[in-house]
Structure 1
Amino acid sequence: MLQAQKKKWLPLGLALAMTAGVPFGASAAEEKSVAVTAIVEHPALDAARDGVLDALKQAGYEPGKNLKWQYQSAQGNNGTAAQIARKFVGDQPDAIVGIATPSAQALVAATKSVPVVFTAVTDPVGAQLTPSWEASGTNVTGVSDVLALDKQIELIRQIVPEAKRIGIVYNPGEANSVVVVKALKELLPTLGMTLVEASAPRSVDVGSAARSLVGKVDAIYTNTDNNVVSAYEALVKVGNDAKIPLIASDTDSVKRGAIAALGVDYRLLGEQTGRIVVRILNGEKPGDIQPQTSDKLQLFVNPGAAAKQGVSLSQALLDSAAEIIQ
């Protein structure tokens, strides 16, 4: 009788934990929820997403156990990004991760209360995600993939020493690309070089935009523009056919046919972002966390692409590469 009475009054949380086969203390109330959205799927952004999940797992948050994990891609459509943002905000997760500028902007427009963590965003201040590079005091923080453009130009000169006219294909509707184009317009003339622009508002426009540069440029530089990266093979075809060297800032693009890239490891960028998410899940306010950048740049080189695009690479450049794509 006494045993039955004790069983009857067993605390509900412990009874549920025992029923579910989970350790005492890991009750349903402790489950956390993280939603992730990206403007489009391509290798760099996918790597960032996977890095976020890696960091959560390393901190003990496992999907299906104590973590509700949601992911949706906007497939390159800003309207879809806004719909996903509203849906995720309505779900009231513990944090939402916005991968790339358009998705992060959609989230920030949709909520002033749910924690938002951006990643793979070049200029969070210019994109109006945060008022400055200091802790914002808002519901927003994150990690930028901003790169020092002087190092990018130095890489172009190592590959094409005589280059004077640098082409760029970009989406004028993507804030991070507009920032880079503006900065290049200011920087290149100081180095005796000029920028030649080609607009690609949609990913299907990348090939025709690249063809418009044939005969007008000595090399094409690509930043982390999501339209361009998602359709990089179209750019590579033009580069190979017209013998125009392609230099990227996204290391995954080297595997797809660029000659070289000095860029961020997006898996590591995602892990860095995930560690911020963990801090929020553990009780910190996003507005108290200063936006971060990555200083883990890597040089990837593709000698086969160089041969197809009409240039030879120095041994010094090859020796300095973190990875050589064969």
Structure 2
Amino acid sequence: MKKIFLGLLIMISAITLISCKSDGLIKIGILQYVSHEDLDDARIGFIKALEENGFKDNVNIKLTILNPQADNNVMQLQAKKLVRSNDLILAIATPAALAIVNEVKEQGKNTKVLFTAVTDPVDAKLVNSLENHGSNITGTSDLTPIDRQIELVKELKPDAKKIGIIYTASETNSKAQADIASMEAQKLGLSAITKTISTIGDLAPIFNSLVVNDKVDAIYIPSDNLLSSNIGQLNELNIAKASYQVPIIASTTFQVREGAGITLGLSYKNLGIQTGLMAVDILNGKDIKEIDVEMIEKLELAINKTSLIEILKLEIDALLLDRADIIFE
């Protein structure tokens, strides 16, 4: 009897294992570099696009979502796991995309990879070109119109002479944006003072130095993961130095909602939806090699009236307010 029972148990276990491996679900992995609202929104938008087009978790697809919280060692292990067991992978932010692509090469696989929240995928060597890339890697860039964002300095302060730029030194996507911002500032006759931080502990002395010592007229921040994760601290510093009337020119709607002054920027949820629609095309049979890298399609002029008017005591042109897509009060 014991032998019969043991035999049945082994048989049941084998059947269960086979059924788990052949459940018929398309495996989709998501590697999100770190938690902050911009990247969270990109993930939410991606899944929303899948669901609205008939691809639902545990129905016809199986989602695995991993987040190393910016720990590179953990990220390498998570990338290895996702590449080993998924048919399609979404990488959110440049470090996550690099980890996935490197792991695909390491394992010698042909896994389809989408990326989003990547500023310059060519410079990051994720693709050779935005069009006709001919690889199993494509996605969406979050590069915003930095030239038009810098122009907002002159709209807020027509007599502005200096702009401060802050970004995280280890984030290549942030450096690319900062370099463009500096160049665009010079075109407008603004001298640009660029400062980098390595940890969030560097932010206070850097910010205070730009405002008090360098006497900048505005500060620009790119779509930087470390700064976005700590946007509250940046805004607290700005409030503490409100008498200097230095507005923060941001890159994303989220940053403005959380207290930065103004942006002509993007909604990462919309960017995620745009990437999700690319995934839908792939799942419906389109060759990923034929899908070009896309730029953000929808921009939003977002203004935080509380920050600019109530805290910094700036006078805002009524025409600028009329143009706003979103006003936070």
Q: TM-score, normalised by structure 2?
A: 0.86
What's the CA shift string for 1:101-121, capped at 9, x where partnerless? 111111111114211101011
Alignment equivalent of 2:60, drawn from 54, 61, 66: 66
**Distance in 1 between residues matched to 2:265 and 2:233, nearest whole Å:** 21
State whether structure 2 residue 134 is matched by structure 1 residue 137: yes
**Counterpart for residue 104 of structure 2:** 111
Say if 1:79 and 1:205 are closer, same or farther in 2 by CA, change over 3 A: farther
Partner residue in 2 for 1:197: 194
Residue number in structure 2 paired with 1:13: none
Secondary structure of the structure 1 residue equivalent to 2:70: coil
> 1:304 maps to what in 2?
306
Q: In structure 2, give the amino acid aligned to 1:76.
A: A
Q: Cα gap change, 1:138/1:165 in structure 2, threshold over 3 Å: closer, same or farther?
A: same
Q: Distance in 2 between matches of 1:37 and 1:208?
A: 33
Query: 2:145–2:265: 8 Å Cα contact kept in structure 1?
Result: no
Q: Partner letter of residue 227 of structure 1?
A: L
Cα distance in structure 1, aligned partners of 2:202 and 2:26 = 41
**What per-residue deviation string (whole Å, max 9, x for no partner) do you get for residues 50-82 of structure 1?**
000001101111112221111122212333322
Asked if 1:233 is matched to 2:232, the reply is yes
Contact 1:170–1:225 (8 Å) recurs in 2? yes
Q: Which amino acid aligns with 1:241?
A: A
- Shift, 1:240, TM fit: 1.4
Q: Distance in 1 between matches of 2:203 and 2:66?
A: 24
Query: SS state of the match for residue 111, structure 1?
Result: helix
Q: Note the 1:151-162 alignment, pairs <5 A.
A: 151-162=148-159
Q: Is the 8 A contact 2:150 2:249 kept in 1?
A: no
CA distance in 1, matches of 2:53, 2:316: 42
- Residue type matched to 2:322 in 1? D
1:204 is displaced (CA, Å) by: 4.2
* CA positional deviation for 1:31: 1.4
Contact 2:145-2:264 within 8 A present in 1 as well: no
Q: Note if contact 2:150-2:181 (Cα within 8 Å) is conserved in structure 1.
A: no
Amino acid at match of 2:98: Q
Contact 1:303–1:325 (Cα < 8 Å) also in 2: yes
Q: What percent identity do the matched residue pairs reach?
A: 36
Out of 146, 149, 158, the residue aligned to residue 149 of structure 1 is: 146
1:29 Cα offset (Å): 5.3
Cα deviation for residue 219 of structure 1 reads 0.8
RMSD: 1.9
The alpha carbon displacement at 1:188 in A equals: 2.0
> Is this contact kept in 1: 2:89–2:114, CA < 8 A?
yes
Q: Select between 157-166 and 33-42 the one with higher mean Cα deviation.
A: 157-166
Amino acid at match of 1:33: K
Deviation of 1:309 after TM superposition, in Å, equals 2.4
Whole-Å Cα distance in 2 between the matches of residues 106 and 118 of structure 1?
11
Residue 25 (structure 1) aligns with: none
Runs of 4+ with deviation above 6 angstroms: none
- Partner secondary structure for residue 177 of structure 2: helix
CA distance in 2, matches of 1:89, 1:195: 42
Aligned equivalents of 1:115, 1:259: Cα separation in 2: 39
Counterpart Cα distance in 1 of 2:313 and 2:46: 39
Query: Which amino acid in 1 is paired with 2:54?
Result: G
Q: Which amino acid aligns with 1:71?
A: I
Deviates more, 1:158-167 or 1:117-126: 158-167
Unaligned runs of 5+ in 2: 1-18
Point out where structure 1 has 5 or more consecutive residues left out of the alignment.
Answer: 1-19, 21-27
Q: Counterparts of 1:15-54 in structure 2 under 5 Å?
A: 30-54=24-48
From 280, 285, 288, the counterpart of 1:286: 288
**Given that residues 51 and 268 in structure 1 are in contact (C-alpha distance below 8 angstroms), is that contact kept between their aligned partners in structure 2?**
yes
- 8 Å CA contact retained: 1:245, 1:310: no
Distance 1:204 1:275 in 2: 39
1:317 aligns with 2:320: yes
Output one character per residue of 1:262-318: Cα deviation in whole Å (capped at 9) or x when no partner: 111211110110011112222333222110011310011111111312422111111
Residue 234 and residue 52 in structure 1: after superposition, are their counterparts in 2 closer, same or farther (change >3 A)?
A: same
Give the one of 172, 181, 192 matched to 1:175: 172
State yes or no: 1:85 paired with 2:88. no
Q: TM-score, normalised by structure 1?
A: 0.87
Mapped to 2, the partners of 1:195 and 1:87 lie a distance apart of 43
| Aligned residue in 1 for 2:8 | none
Q: Partner of 2:260: helix, strand, or coil?
A: coil
Q: Which residue of 2 aligns with 1:187?
A: 184
Separation (CA, whole Å) in 1 of partners of 2:205 and 2:53 = 46
